[in-house]
Amino acid sequence: MSLAETAKTVADQIRRQQYIEVYAHHDADGIAAGAILCHAMLRSGIRFRLRVCAEIPSAALSRDAASLLCDLGSGMEDLPPETMVVDHHLPLFRGQFHANPRLDKIDGDREFSAAGMAYIVAQEMGDNRDLAGLVIPGIIGDGQEFAGRNLEIFNEGVANGIIVPDRGMTLAGRDMAEKWLLATCPYLEGISGDDSAVADLLTGAQGANSLRLDTLMSLAVLKSAPQTSAEGLALLYGDTLHLQREVIEDAHALTAVIDACGKSGHGDLAVALCLRSSAEIDKAWEVARRHHLDVIGALKTAHPAHEGDAVYECQDATLASDIADVLARDRVHQAPVLVYARSGEACRISARSPHGVTADLGPLVRNLAAACGGDGGGHHTRAGATIPCDQLEAFVKEWQEALAA
């Protein structure tokens, strides 16, 4: 079936329900996707409960109500066939109610997010054009391009006055000092997390009457360039987007806050923002601040766990994904980056391909995890897994051998 046909099939199934258990992945794309569909369900009079989670085993799904998985489920072969899945990961689920751009040969790595897929489903449920702004955190959060269907939704949002494009600094924060202090996209060596370095940076860029942005950017690049990739530095300035219907208007800031809240166990705050409640916006910002400082602190002590390759250990499983993103994007690596973190008897693994490195990570991580008695999968350039801790050494050994082959 075409993308439009699968979206209609899932939308029709949603409309048949009186109550739905919704499960959304805990990053910006998953939370935005879940929120888009919950907006659409609320407007259609369908009751729901939305839960934000890092993963959801098939056995944990409700057996008493319909289940809808957002940015989750495509890589699961054991889901009940009646499960509804709105996702963009490599597909293994064979159920009828599966909306995924890859099923229509659309690139789910670069050109279509789960939030974008959710928007197409929501449009089949009614006039939900005002939700186009919530697709943007999915695109930014997953590091995608404004191309293909992403670009179509963006253009539609601009045409309808939902999204207003601009140019400027892309760092997220409530004031200029916080933007530099919390910088993790990109991570700026010698600046991020350092109050005194940020103060010196701002002082050095102070003009006669105002801060000189050109000087500020130049000073930041000069300070961070020795240990930051060109791709990372290029993220400092570029296209910015004003989301006219959202409680945090700046798209990069909204993305950073909901992503941090979701990954740090405060998915309720992230969902509230996406459902356009500003009641706890200050609390959400503080959660995001702590999360970003935790990521920066972990990065300052990050060293390869195995000599000669890009395998890193992280002490906090909630930070592994962000650390892998930073190391692959903002540091110079010639091979995929692997970050692992122990959490009780389980080990969380995040794998990323740096710019220009070709590796099909989703199938590789899925197969290695399965061989270790765990679960894994993802995209071609981004993947993750959970395995028993006692299988970590075997996983890393097989990972190294696969990349060397």
Share of the chain above pLDDT 70, in %: 99
Question: 63 pLDDT band (50/70/90 cuts)?
Answer: confident
Closest CA to 133 of 148, 143, 118, 111: 118
Are 387 and 67 contacting, i.e. CB atoms less than 8 angstroms apart? no
Around 375, how many Cα atoms within 13 Å sit in the side-chain half-sphere? Answer: 13
pLDDT tens for each residue of 319-358? 999 999 999 999 888 889 999 999 899 999 999 999 888 7
Q: What pLDDT is stored for residue 398 in this prediction?
A: 93
pLDDT of residue 107: 93
108: which 2 tokens?
């789910």
CA 318 to chain centre: 13
C-alpha to C-alpha distance for 24 and 265, rounded to whole angstroms:
13
Does the pLDDT value for residue 36 go beyond 70?
yes
Give the per-residue SS3 of 265-334: CCHHHHHHHHCCCCCCHHHHHHHHHHHHHHHHHHHHCCCECCCCCCEEECCCHHHHHHHHHHHHHHCCCC
Q: What is the mean pLDDT of the chain?
A: 94
pTM of the prediction?
0.95
Residue 307 pLDDT grade (very low, low, confident, very high; cuts 50, 70, 90): low
Residue 390 pLDDT exceeds 90: yes
- Is the pLDDT at 202 greater than 80, yes or no? yes
**117-155 b/e (C-beta count within 10 Å ≥ 16 → b):** bbbbbbbbbeebbbbbbbbbbbbbbbbbebebbbeebbe
Among the listed ranges 76-90, 113-127, 355-369, which one has the minimum average pLDDT value?
Answer: 355-369
- Residue pair 60/81 in contact (Cβ under 8 Å)? The answer is no
pLDDT at 305 > cutoff 90: no
Q: What is the pLDDT of residues 139-185, one digit of tens each?
A: 999 999 999 999 999 999 999 999 999 999 999 999 999 999 999 99
- Least confident span in 21-35, 61-75, 190-204, 347-361: 347-361
pLDDT at 405 over 80: no
How far is CA 131 from each of CA 120, 164, 318, 339, rounded to the nearest angstrom? Answer: 10, 14, 29, 34
With beta carbons less than 8 A apart as the criterion, state whether 172 and 140 touch: no
Give the span between the Cα atoms of 309 and 323, in whole angstroms.
16
pLDDT computed for residue 349 by the predictor: 95
Provide the percentage of residues in the chain whose pLDDT is more than 90.
86
Residue where the block lists tokens 């695109």: 139
Q: What is the mean pLDDT of residues 273-281?
A: 97
Q: Which of 22-26, 110-114, 238-242, 310-314 has the lowest mean pLDDT?
A: 310-314
Q: Model confidence at 363, in pLDDT bands (50, 70, 90)?
A: very high
User: How far is Cα 40 from Cα 99, in angstroms, rounded to an integer?
Assistant: 16
Write down the pLDDT at residue 308. Answer: 65
Tell me the pLDDT tens digit for each residue of 127-140. 999 999 999 999 99
Q: Residue 302: CB partners within 8 Å, gap ≥ 6?
A: 312, 314, 323, 327
Residue 367: the pLDDT is 94
> What are the beta bridge partners of residue 20?
48, 66
The model's pLDDT over 79-94, given as tens digits with 9 standing for 90+, comes to: 999 999 999 999 999 9
